[in-house]
Amino acid sequence: MTKEETLKDKWQAIQTKLSNQFADGETLNVDSITYLIGVQELGQGARKFKKDEKVALMHIAVCRLLEPFGYYEFEYYDEDKWPHYKSIKELPFLKAGEQTVLLKEAIVNYFENEI
């Protein structure tokens, strides 16, 4: 099995599990799963978030997901207990499809190693 096939199989397993758990079986995409990871990393439970908070949750998730790849490092929690990260190295220029593959790989890594 190639690395791409392994990633695809692992991604589909995570996607199916989360879709069944959070979307009544409707398939969640990369952005939806990234959002859920942001909510998890915030650690304040499920609640209604404002639009700007949703954007911040996506940012938290991306930083957390790319931290093991050396792109970000956790810095501190603010007074509202929101995590903040600092950029360690610049992200490479990636086409949209390549960005998606990187995020899928990071999500698989997150669920295999961090949870």
Instruction: Tell me which residue has tokens 């698989």.
Output: 108
Q: How far apart are CA 104 and CA 106, in angstroms?
A: 5
| Domain ranges across the chain | 3-114
Q: Which pLDDT score is estimated for 62?
A: 97
Tens digits of residue pLDDT in 14-51: 999 999 999 887 999 999 999 999 999 999 887 899 99
Mean pLDDT of the chain: 92
Of 25, 3, 6, 7, residue with least CA distance to 16: 25
Q: Which pLDDT score is estimated for 107?
A: 97
Q: How far apart are CA 44 and CA 19, in angstroms?
A: 21
Q: How far apart are CA 31 and CA 58, in angstroms?
A: 8
Tokens (6 digits) for 36: 């859920």
Q: Are 60 and 42 in contact (CB under 8 A)?
A: yes
Where residue 25 falls (left for φ over 0; alpha for ψ -120 to 50; beta otherwise) is left
pLDDT-derived band at 73 (thresholds 50, 70, 90) equals very high
Q: Which of 52 and 4 is assigned the larger pLDDT?
A: 52
Q: Which pLDDT score is estimated for 3?
A: 65
